[in-house]
Amino acid sequence: MIKYGAVMVLAVAAVFFAAGVLYAGVQPNKEMQALMDSYLAAAMKADPGFKGFSAEEGKAFFNAKRMHSANKEERGCTTCHTTNPANKGKTTVGKVIEPMAPSINKERFTDPAKVEKWFKRNCSWVLERECTPKEKGNYITYMLSI
């Protein structure tokens, strides 16, 4: 039987390889890479079978709609950001939101404090809870892949 430690080393290597491939589009800066690494460590701790972030899962998460229990209103990330991250979005009061895709909007995902602030706010507005490190990593991986 392969030892748990060896499996972990292989899993970590696979994750970094996958991440390297996915980051081929837009490269995160050092601060953002550190934030992604912390999401990765947390996701692996929560699930030892975790295989690395997936742009596909991030896309599904971004496009998912959910019924808000208190407001009885269908909400999703796309409510404000639209289904195309390359497009401008709109807040519920009609204020323009610049595109989410960093290939279009260079300021996206450059400041970990901003990223964390808006994850906190928007995840609770949509999901009535905070997003998990896995959801956050998948979401950013999807955005970087566009």
Kindly list the residues in this chain that would bind ligand HEC in the complex (CB under 6 A).
77, 79-81, 91-92, 97-98, 108-109, 114-115, 118-119, 122-123, 125-126, 139
- The CA–CA distances, whole Å, from 9 to 23, 36, 38, 50, 98 equal 21, 18, 17, 13, 40
Nearer to ligand HEC, 44 or 101 (CB): 101
Cα distance between residue 119 and residue 142, in whole Å = 15
Minimum CB separation from ligand HEC for residue 14, in Å?
A: 25
Contact 36, 143 (CB under 8 A): no
Nearer to ligand HEC, 47 or 74 (CB): 74
Cα distance between residue 144 and residue 104, in whole Å = 10
Minimum CB separation from ligand HEC for residue 23, in Å?
A: 16
Minimum CB separation from ligand HEC for residue 51, in Å?
A: 21
Nearer to ligand HEC, 2 or 67 (CB): 67
Nearer to ligand HEC, 15 or 35 (CB): 35
| Cβ-defined contacts of 66-74 (< 8 Å, 24+) | 66/126, 66/127, 68/126, 68/128, 69/128, 70/128
Minimum CB separation from ligand HEC for residue 77, in Å?
A: 3
Contact 38, 133 (CB under 8 A): yes
Cα distance between residue 141 and residue 146, in whole Å = 9
Minimum CB separation from ligand HEC for residue 50, in Å?
A: 19
Nearer to ligand HEC, 14 or 114 (CB): 114
